Amino acid sequence: MEDVIKKIEEKTSLIQQEMIQMSDELYNQQKEITELKFQIKKLKFELQGSEANNGHFDNEEEKLPPHY
């Protein structure tokens, strides 16, 4: 009977460790998703700004045609 209890305790301990690891991974993934969402919003804002300028950019080099 003690062997059975010991095996159950070992399995429970392993499961707890795996749960902690999964929780940490989930937290990191949520952080990454949040950062990626922010970057997407920033890019959308920048794209809308460039569309508002009718494709004109502030950089002089980008205003000149390529043959100059």
Domain containing 40 equals 29-54
**Structural domain count, the chain:** 1
| Predicted local confidence at residue 4, as pLDDT | 95
| Within-domain flag for 49 | yes
- Higher pLDDT pick, 22 / 48: 22
Percent with pLDDT over 90 in the chain:
68
| Predicted local confidence at residue 56, as pLDDT | 58
Is the separation of the CB atoms in 36 and 29 below 8 Å?
no
List, in order, residues 6 or more apart from 6 with CB less than 8 Å away.
Answer: none
Sign of the C-alpha dihedral computed for residues 15, 17, 19 and 22 taken in this order: negative
33 is written with which tokens?
């998703």
| Within-domain flag for 45 | yes
| Predicted local confidence at residue 33, as pLDDT | 98
Amino acid at 27: Y
Is the separation of the CB atoms in 56 and 63 below 8 Å?
yes
Q: What is the mean pLDDT of the chain?
A: 87
As a whole number, mean pLDDT of residues 15-37 equals 98
As a whole number, mean pLDDT of residues 11-31 equals 98
